[in-house]
């Protein structure tokens, strides 16, 4: 008996927070709109609509920079309880189609529809139904990608945004992936993308010319992932429950902390807040600690260590080492713990 080809959908709401505000106030639809914190409080953009994107504005951009790019930008503070309610309505649509739903955030999710018998088993028709139902019930447009794997479904959902529907059938996977820019691959960030570009590798077809031994030498264990993705190989399952990998807290300061002493003094309330979160999570098994520092030039560094207890002294030691990497005023400070993965906990309890 041949194994059924997987059918994975990735559904992603278009500029979700902004879309909800435009739905509730149609006068906002055709003007540059962003949801985010204020310039005075060192805020960042959570999302923006498509008119704002024509000015180069994007999520995670500092609000001050967004306003320089577009002085007439309409900036709104997020109404997250309203967004969560709309998200619940959209997630309900997903669950009417299949119980195999993996939410990634309020506005996107993976769905495994391999075994769905409705719609004559057509992933395309299922995607069309999702789009129509989400819009009918909430007034929000959703872009959907359909493919045999998660990484291709996610790429497909972004292919024709907004309000897009892109299907990559199994027989077209190889041709699609060959022409795909390597910077589209899951996990390839700016640093890895720059390294590949320096090697003359810009497409997956070019990446396939490198033997796996070379990729492992140059990129470590991520080299194997590059080898697989460049060939369209991704068998990650849709997980109904996402496992938490870390617990952390962070804050962006209204004014930069000028030196290490000021940054160290700011650790205490963060550590107290972290302890409260760990208590609410039942003090889960920890694999290590980390400190996250963003400097005034927006460079970011994270330092991790194993074998330390999550107290102020441990985080102070990590902060001293992290701050020494740039020795600049600090804009953002974060502390947290890495959690022991479920599979590792199971291995530790196996009998010898």
Q: What is the CATH number of the domain that holds 305?
A: 3.30.1490.100
Q: Please give the Cα distance from 185 to 229 (Å, whole number).
A: 7
**Residue 50 is part of which domain span?**
1-168
Q: Which residues, other chains included, contact 103 with Cβ-Cβ below 8 Å and sequence gap of 6+?
A: 91, 109, 242
Domain end position, chosen among 115, 137, 168: 168
pLDDT given at position 343: 47
pLDDT 10s digit of each residue in the chain, 352 long?
A: 456 789 999 999 999 999 999 999 999 999 999 998 888 777 889 899 999 999 999 988 889 999 999 999 999 998 989 999 999 999 999 999 999 999 988 899 999 999 999 999 999 999 999 999 999 999 999 999 999 999 999 999 999 999 999 999 999 999 999 999 999 998 888 888 889 999 999 999 999 999 999 999 988 888 999 999 999 999 999 988 766 788 888 888 878 899 999 999 998 888 888 888 888 777 778 888 999 999 988 788 999 988 778 888 899 999 999 999 999 999 889 999 988 764 443 443 444 3
150 and 8 in a common domain: yes
Q: Which residues are documented as binding site?
A: 12, 107
* Residue given tokens 């400190």 in the structure block: 291
pLDDT given at position 180: 94
* Residue given tokens 């102070």 in the structure block: 316
58 and 44 in a common domain: yes
Bridge-based pairing state of the strands 165-167 and 142-147: parallel
Q: Please give the Cα distance from 34 to 110 (Å, whole number).
A: 26
Q: Could you tell me where the beta strands, DSSP code E, fall in the chain?
A: 8-13, 33-36, 45-48, 74-76, 101-105, 108-112, 142-147, 165-167, 246-257, 286-295, 300-305, 330-339
Choose the catalytic residue: 108, 115, 133, 241.
Answer: 108
Tell me whether residue 341 is in a domain. yes
pLDDT given at position 243: 64
**Which tokens go with 289?**
């600690």
Q: Tell me how crowded residue 346 is: count the other CB atoms within 10 A of its CB.
A: 9
Q: Tell me how crowded residue 228 is: count the other CB atoms within 10 A of its CB.
A: 15
We report the CATH number of the domain holding residue 96 as 3.30.70.270
Q: Please give the Cα distance from 114 to 133 (Å, whole number).
A: 20
How many residues are there in the chain?
Answer: 352
HSE value, Cβ hemisphere, 13 Å, CA-based, for 112: 16
Q: Which residues are documented as binding site for Mg(2+)?
A: 12, 107
In DSSP terms, 302 is beta-bridged to 292
156 and 26 in a common domain: yes
The answer to whether 51 and 179 are in contact (CB under 8 A) is: no
DSSP structure string for 215-226 = HHHHHTTHHHHH
pLDDT given at position 112: 97
48 and 120 in a common domain: yes
pLDDT given at position 6: 93
202 and 155 in a common domain: no
114 and 12 in a common domain: yes
194 and 91 in a common domain: no
**Which tokens go with 19?**
């879309």
Query: What is the pTM assigned to this prediction?
Result: 0.73
The answer to whether 113 and 101 are in contact (CB under 8 A) is: no
Tell me whether residue 241 is in a domain. no
pLDDT given at position 3: 66
Tell me whether residue 223 is in a domain. yes
Tell me whether residue 352 is in a domain. no
We report the CATH number of the domain holding residue 198 as 1.10.150.20
pLDDT given at position 193: 87
For the stretch 302-336, what's the b/e string if a residue is b when 16 or more beta carbons lie within 10 angstroms of its beta carbon? ebbeeebebebebbbebbeebbeebebbbbbbbbb
| 108 labelled catalytic | yes
The dihedral built from the CA positions of residue 275, 278, 279 and 285, taken in this order, carries a sign that is: negative
User: Total domain count for the chain?
Assistant: 3
| Helix (H), strand (E) counts: the chain | 15, 12
pLDDT given at position 341: 60
HSE value, Cβ hemisphere, 13 Å, CA-based, for 333: 30
The answer to whether 294 and 263 are in contact (CB under 8 A) is: no
Domain end position, chosen among 138, 168, 198: 168
Q: Please give the Cα distance from 72 to 69 (Å, whole number).
A: 9
pLDDT given at position 260: 93
The answer to whether 13 and 90 are in contact (CB under 8 A) is: yes
216 and 101 in a common domain: no
56 and 6 in a common domain: yes
Q: E strand or H helix at 152, and its extent?
A: helix 150-157
Tell me whether residue 132 is in a domain. yes
In DSSP terms, 9 is beta-bridged to 111, 146
pLDDT given at position 190: 82
265 and 118 in a common domain: no
Q: Which residues, other chains included, contact 112 with Cβ-Cβ below 8 Å and sequence gap of 6+?
A: 6, 7, 8, 98, 100, 237, 238
146 and 72 in a common domain: yes
């Amino acid at each position: 008996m041949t194994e059924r080809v997987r059918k994975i959908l990735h559904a992603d709401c278009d500029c979700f927070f902004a879309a909800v505000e435009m739905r509730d106030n149609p006068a906002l639809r055709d003007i540059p709109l962003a949801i985010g914190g204020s310039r005075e409080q060192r805020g960042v953009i959570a999302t923006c609509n498509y008119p704002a994107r024509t000015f180069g504005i994007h999520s995670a951009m500092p609000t001050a920079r967004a306003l320089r790019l577009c002085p007439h930008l309409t900036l709104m503070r997020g109404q997250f309880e309203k967004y969560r309610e709309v998200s619940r309505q959209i997630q309900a649509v997903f669950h009417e189609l299949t119980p195999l739903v993996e939410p990634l955030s309020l506005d996107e999710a993976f769905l495994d529809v391999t075994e769905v018998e409705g719609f004559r088993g057509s992933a395309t028709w299922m995607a069309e139904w999702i789009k129509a139902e989400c819009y009918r019930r909430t007034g929000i447009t959703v872009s959907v990608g359909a493919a045999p794997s998660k990484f291709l479904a996610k790429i497909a959902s972004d292919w024709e945004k907004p309000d897009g529907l892109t299907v990559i059938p199994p027989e077209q996977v190889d041709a699609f992936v060959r022409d795909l820019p390597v910077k589209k691959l899951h996990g390839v960030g700016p640093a890895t993308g720059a390294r590949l570009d320096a090697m003359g590798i810009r497409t997956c077809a070019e990446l396939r010319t490198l033997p796996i031994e070379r990729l492992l030498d140059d990129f470590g264990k991520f080299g194997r992932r590059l080898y697989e993705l460049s060939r369209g190989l991704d068998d990650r399952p849709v997980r109904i429950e996402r496992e938490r990998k870390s617990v952390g807290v962070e804050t962006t300061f209204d004014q930069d902390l000028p030196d290490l002493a000021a940054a160290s003094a700011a650790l205490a309330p963060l550590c107290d807040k972290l302890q409260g979160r760990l208590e609410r999570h039942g003090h889960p098994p920890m694999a290590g600690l980390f400190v996250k520092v963003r400097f005034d030039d927006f460079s970011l560094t994270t330092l991790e260590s194993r074998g330390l207890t999550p107290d102020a002294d441990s985080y102070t030691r990590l902060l001293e080492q992290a701050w020494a990497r740039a020795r600049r005023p600090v804009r953002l400070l974060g502390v947290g713990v890495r959690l022991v993965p479920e599979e590792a906990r199971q291995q530790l309890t196996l009998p010898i």
